Amino acid sequence: MPNTEFSSETDTAKQEESGATRPAGTLTGEQRAAITALLDAVRPVSDELGERFAAHDQQLAVVGGPVRDALLGRASNDVDLTTDAVPQRILELVDGWADSVWTVGIEFGTVGLRKKGLQVEVTTYRSESYSPKSRKPDVHYGDNIHDDLLRRDFTVNAMAVRMPSQEFVDPFGGLADLAEGVLRTPGRPEDSFSDDPLRIMRAVRFAAQLGFELAPEVAEAARDMADRLSIVSAERVRDELVKLLLSPDPRRGIELMVELGIAPYVLPEIPKLRLEIDEHHRHKDVYEHSLIVLDQAIELERARGHEPDLVLRLAALLHDVGKPKTRAFEGPGRVTFHHHEVVGASMSRKRLSALRFPKDVITDVSTLVALHLRFHGYGKGEWTDSAVRRYARDAGSQLERLHILTRADCTTRNRRKAAALARAYDDIERRIEKLAEQEELDRIRPDLDGNEIQQILDVKPGPVIGRAYRYLLELRLENGPMSKDDAAAALRTWAAEHL
């Protein structure tokens, strides 16, 4: 077993050359134990592969996120390795040792492999840069770990542990920044964001994910260079947005996106929610309201035992995006947003499509946005059972999310009003549960299928079948389940009047 005493590698000359002035930190006993645990978790890679590379005069190190997370005491599912060996050399060194190898990312210097159930990626030291109008980076291989760490996004991700020596490498003060909870770049932030503009988005994502603050120079560069995000592919931006929304504090990330002028290049609808408010037409701050709804949806999500839910969080954030387009002033002190849920559903669909979200996510989010006001017609429980059935049917598979979103959408400070709304929604949920037990609401269908309608009416397939089907569905929603005979009799009566 390798020696578990850690040394720290620094290179003062190179630090001064790169502009970095923060010295490498010293690992505490607890941090050394965390690094040991990290390497234990990636055996046999940390032993066998490290020694295999060393025997052929090639460097190998665990790098980036896994090191950061180990030092933070966070679990990490990724194992990222870096080396001075070029991809073809990596393939030669793992040939006959790895259980399987894949080369999907070899164009960017990455070779994937699996050994005894452990999956890792090995990437050649490299630097990446984007030309002003390019969406794809130019990749250049390097020959030393210092320069590889210099091109990393933030100092807290620019730490490594060499294998098999277990030497801790921290040339840019990442350990100190980790302790301070600050995001800094290894070199100038302008250079870092120019090399890969997505790092601007990644900065706000890490703020939400890790609870870190952006160093002033990082925030300033992000604000000045936000327009560079326009050259990044929608898929990469989407992936960062997803990670931000699934983080412990997505509100923090959204606020930073708006404050730094990043949102117009990702979710331009969000800053537009900051409607001006005047003394004659008072209404809620829609932007602040949307953030509170997001917070409350997350609280309810956790209270109900759900995992972080992307669809719910997107719907909470976007549920009122239709308000700016539908705002109208109707007399002194009165402002309306008629049909903003319909407009908002269309806008949500358009935005999520532009960000290349999967079709099911787009459909589910837009459905929730379209339905988020439906409950407010419930009043004091005057809805008939058929209205409750329609509510559940229209929500379909999104009913549980709609329950959470509707409850989260109550942000009034009037305790009496809030309590009344909560009681009303408690009532509708109880009624839905009761009806569901009786009728399996999520499977509501007419009591006769298309073939049966065709036989009873003695008609050929065509529009008549669809009209009859919709009539029977409405009948089912209005009256509950019917016997086949009763449904057939009702169908004949309807046909006599309408055909």
Q: How confident is the model at residue 143 (pLDDT cuts 50, 70, 90)?
A: confident
Percentage, residues of the chain above pLDDT 70: 88
Q: Phi/psi zone of residue 127: left (φ > 0), alpha (ψ -120 to 50 degrees), beta? A: beta
Provide mean pLDDT across the span 318-346: 87
The predicted pLDDT at position 257 comes to 97
The predicted pLDDT at position 74 comes to 85
CATH 1.10.3210 fits 273-443, yes or no: yes
Q: Which of 132, 152, 145 is nearest to 61 (CA)?
A: 145
The predicted pLDDT at position 107 comes to 87
Q: Which of 474, 468, 471 is nearest to 452 (CA)?
A: 468
| pLDDT reading at 13 higher than 50 | no
**Residue type at 46 in one-letter notation:** S
Q: Where are the domains of the chain?
A: 1-177, 188-266, 273-443, 450-498
Q: How far apart are the C-alpha atoms of 400 and 174, rounded to whole Å?
A: 43
Q: What is the average pLDDT score of the chain?
A: 87
| pLDDT reading at 471 higher than 70 | yes
| pLDDT reading at 140 higher than 70 | yes
Q: How far apart are the C-alpha atoms of 428 and 391, rounded to whole Å?
A: 10
Q: How far apart are the C-alpha atoms of 128 and 17, rounded to whole Å?
A: 19
Provide mean pLDDT across the span 447-469: 88
Provide mean pLDDT across the span 407-433: 88
**Residue type at 318 in one-letter notation:** L
- Neighbouring CB atoms inside 10 A of 130's CB total 19
Of 447 and 241, the one with more pLDDT? 241
Percentage, residues of the chain above pLDDT 90: 57
Query: Do the domains spanning 188-266 and 273-443 agree at the CATH topology level?
Result: no
| pLDDT reading at 135 higher than 90 | no
Q: Which structure tokens are listed for 204? A: 């706000």
Q: Contact, 197 vs 232, CB < 8 A? A: yes
Q: How confident is the model at residue 281 (pLDDT cuts 50, 70, 90)?
A: very low
The predicted pLDDT at position 25 comes to 62
Q: How confident is the model at residue 481 (pLDDT cuts 50, 70, 90)?
A: confident
Q: How far apart are the C-alpha atoms of 260 and 219, rounded to whole Å?
A: 7
**Residue 293: phi, psi to the nearest 5?**
-60, -40
Provide mean pLDDT across the span 234-253: 97
Q: How confident is the model at residue 198 (pLDDT cuts 50, 70, 90)?
A: very high
188-266, what's its fold?
Hydrophobic Seed Protein (1.10.110)
Q: Which structure tokens are listed for 6? A: 């850690």
Q: Contact, 290 vs 242, CB < 8 A? A: no
The predicted pLDDT at position 440 comes to 60
Provide mean pLDDT across the span 429-439: 81
Provide mean pLDDT across the span 245-250: 96
- Lowest-pLDDT range, 105-109, 293-297, 399-403? 105-109
**Residue 373: phi, psi to the nearest 5?**
-95, -10
Please state which architecture CATH assigns to domain 1-177. Answer: 2-Layer Sandwich (3.30)
| pLDDT reading at 133 higher than 80 | no
Q: Is the pTM of the predicted complex or chain greater than 0.85?
A: no
Q: How far apart are the C-alpha atoms of 294 and 365, rounded to whole Å?
A: 14
| pLDDT reading at 17 higher than 50 | no
Of 474 and 252, the one with more pLDDT? 252
Highest mean pLDDT among 77-81, 219-223, 411-415, 432-436: 219-223
**Crossing angle of helices 399-408 and 310-318, rounded to 10°:** 40
| pLDDT reading at 60 higher than 90 | yes
- Lowest-pLDDT range, 265-274, 289-298, 467-476? 467-476
